[in-house]
Amino acid sequence: MSKQTTVERASNGARIGLLLAGLVLVLLGLFFAIGGGMLIARGGSWYYLPAGLALFVAGIQLARRRSSAYVIYTIFLLATALWSFWEAGFEFWPLTARLFMFTVIGLVMTPLFPLLRGGEGKTPAKAAAWGFGLVLLACNVAFVWGMFIPHGQFGTESVPPVASNNANNAGSSDWTAYGHSAGGDRFAGATQINRDNVKNLQVAWTFRTGDVPLSPDGGGSEDQLTPLQVGRTLFLCTPHNTVIAVDATSGAEKWRHEFPTKTTVWVRCRGLAYFDSAKPLVQPTAAGSTPVAAADAPADPAICRRRIFMNTIDAKLVALDADTGKLCADFGKDGVIDLKDGLGKATSPLYQMTSAPTVAGTTVVVGGRVADNVSLDMPGGVVRGFDVISGRMKWAFDPGNPADRNAPAEGKTFTRSTPNVWAPMSYDPTSNIVFMPVGNAAIDLWGVKRTALDESYGASILALDATTGAEKWHFQTVHHDLWDYDVPMQPTLVDFPVGDKRVPALIVGTKMGQLFVLDRLTGKPLTDVIEHRVKPATIPNEPYAKTQPLSVGMPQIGADVLKESDMWGMTAMDQLMCRVVFRGMRYDGLFTAPDTDRSLSFPGSLGGMNWGGLSYDPNSGMVFSNDMRLGLWVHLVKEAQRGGSSDGNEAVNAGMGAVPLGGTPYSVTKDRFFSPIGIPCQKPPFGSLTAIDLKTRSIAWQVPLGTVRDSRLHGVKMSLPTPVGMPTIGGSLATGGGLVFFAATQDYYLRAFDSSTGKEVWKARLPVGSQGTPISYVIDGKQYIVISAGGARQSPDRGDYVIAFALPDGK
């Protein structure tokens, strides 16, 4: 083979390569030009159309082997950089979406410029080309490096104060209620594990429950447990309602009691409740409080002195002997109360228990989950209080008949389809008040048939006397809710600084990213709440609210009003598609009412903040909140038949299909506001951990929570530790050692953050993901951190693990 033939073949190969490269640029140019034209037609940015034309021309010139291709591309790239900084500022992830793809293409094209000039008989200009190439290389290295570090607002480091005893963590270090204290602080005051030595944490023991939750769509069985710890015993409940007691120092099983159920939809147990009849009653001290009444006499004081209460998924309240696991025969009927009594038709999963009971003095208080958007005729949202010993119903609060606190007469039922209390409650022993997060009437998205009482109690905080069930006050967070913005979490009791005083208060987060701070005795806001005017939609006879409450006196978490410039993608291509889709939907901000067109709800009904709740460090005066940022588009569809066949699986309510709204003229389709490749359309983070300073009422720090390492994109695990911040579902744990622990991300880690700065200071790999909340306790001078790990939301990797971490001896 002659040398000339080899050169000719190489030359032919170069021509073909340049032709193909030019074709790629031409196709990119057409994509951006056509998409840019669609965007302009919808009132969007004018950048993409000329950018697409520039790419198209550069591609033509490259296919023709002209050096002007590189010049045109360089001008395009510089203009894109200027536009990117003008539109997105210096935020890393928005800049990456706009520039990274183009800087990579520019770097690949750099070696071609001298060759093309040489082919044209011109000076190669290698110095200029390689100089610009080095700039592009540095930019790309910076982009890649930045993809693996967290981008957020970090705080200033301070020395953690010594843990103190107060109303929120007084006395025992035991974790005796769902939120640690009855007030839901999720704070462990122990300081043995701290910022300096947390790096030495290691697994102390692992327990396998034997109950592996399966949930292909998120609406099946899920492990969302927060354990209880009393003395040397840890109490667990599994998704299918097996209660297990294990040694809190070794993980050795002591006993278990199974409650079999045939329910397959929305199966979970988030927690338990505990009562010790030998402990003296704590009487309230606040003026005007009702005394805590003595409990009914036990049948045998030696049996069931210490009791564990659980709501089963098929709506039974059970009492177990904490020492043996046997049912307490003197409670209800042989240890069981059927919570469906008085409700009428209330089959599972239309009526279920998903949150822990609340022990309030000598009353065990339960609400219930009424499945959303199934039918206008559903069980009522009655809340009931039962004697902790006998199970005798002491009172019932029926939101449809609040004056009557008795059980319904024979043949009657509690009012049907009323707002319900599905999330955990809090109890204040100083006032003997139970604080309840209230949901909505049976159909969220169509409110024509709601009653005046439905409108009053829906999406509110309700305060009831724990002894009598009498209403103290209620405060509404959403008027005429059409978004499934029910109050989703346990209110957290805090001592709130107001001037030089500290006022007994509660703080609660909402799905709308709002934080409301209310006086515990009056329900009045302690920070500014305004009534924000909102736009109605056009559904006939819908009594739209003209205004909605906004808690402007506290930070609003992840509730920014989206703009086109907030649209994001892994590349500039899917970012453009998200812009086009965004401009094609009706969006009026936070309270965009659903209609028969396609509207955007952000945050969607998943949150914002959800049932994981807040944690509160009383020493630093900080509250810690995790959130998710997932938008949903919503489309009401007119139906000829007013019927429905939904099975109560709320996975379809979370963005995966059409739901018939039984008894209404509509069905609804929701879907996640995702790009064509399956990631959220708005810029990261998609989930964050935020510290709020109660004294300044401002964000102290906010960091992305979780990486994409264990997330799957079209079935393929991404395996990259990129900390964009992922949707979260469980809760956090604050400790006296200056740490915040969290596990309920989409990746498989338990993490510890410095509570002053938000910096991640430790993480441990879990066998599978978690949706649980960590707890901490001290036994024999050793502090433990415990987490339940049964699988992350939307993950096929599942398990049955409960894992305890501790410092090695001598550390």
Q: Bridge partners of 599?
A: 586, 634
Q: What is the rounded CA–CA span in Å between residue 245 and residue 249? A: 12
Beta strands in 642-697, from DSSP E residues, in sequence order: 656-660, 666-672, 687-693
Residue at 279: amino acid letter: K
Q: Where are the alpha helices (DSSP H) in 89-218?
A: 92-109, 112-119, 126-146
Q: What is the rounded CA–CA span in Å between residue 193 and residue 205? A: 17
- Angle separating helix axes 3-41 and 48-63, nearest 10 degrees: 160
Q: Bridge partners of 657?
A: 670
Catalytic residue among 174, 321, 484, 800: 484
- In which order are the strands placed within the sheet that holds 656-660? 599-601, 632-638, 666-672, 656-660
Which two tokens mark 785? 């951190």
Per DSSP, 484 falls in state -
* Residues contacting residue 647 through CB under 8 Å, at least 6 positions apart: 265, 349
Query: Are the beta carbons of 730 and 770 closer than 8 angstroms?
Result: yes
Residue 108 phi/psi, 5° resolution?
-65, -35
Q: Bridge partners of 148?
A: none
Measuring CA to CA, how many Å separate 137 from each of 297, 363, 523, 553? Answer: 78, 67, 58, 46
Query: Are the beta carbons of 222 and 771 closer than 8 angstroms?
Result: yes
Per DSSP, 327 falls in state B
Query: Are the beta carbons of 654 and 606 closer than 8 angstroms?
Result: yes
Rg (CA), the chain: 29
Helix (H, G, I), strand (E, B) or coil at 393: strand
- Reply yes or no: is the peptide bond before residue 685 cis, omega within 30 of 0: yes
Measuring CA to CA, how many Å separate 249 from each of 234, 267, 734, 806? Answer: 9, 29, 21, 10
Strands 733-735 and 187-188: parallel
Helix (H, G, I), strand (E, B) or coil at 461: strand
Residue 266 sits at the vertex; the CA angle it makes with 260 and 268, to the nearest 5 degrees, is 60
* Residues contacting residue 414 through CB under 8 Å, at least 6 positions apart: 342, 343, 344, 380, 382, 396, 398, 400, 401, 408
Residue at 738: amino acid letter: G
Q: Bridge partners of 749?
A: 765
| 185 has catalytic annotation | no
Catalytic residue set: 484
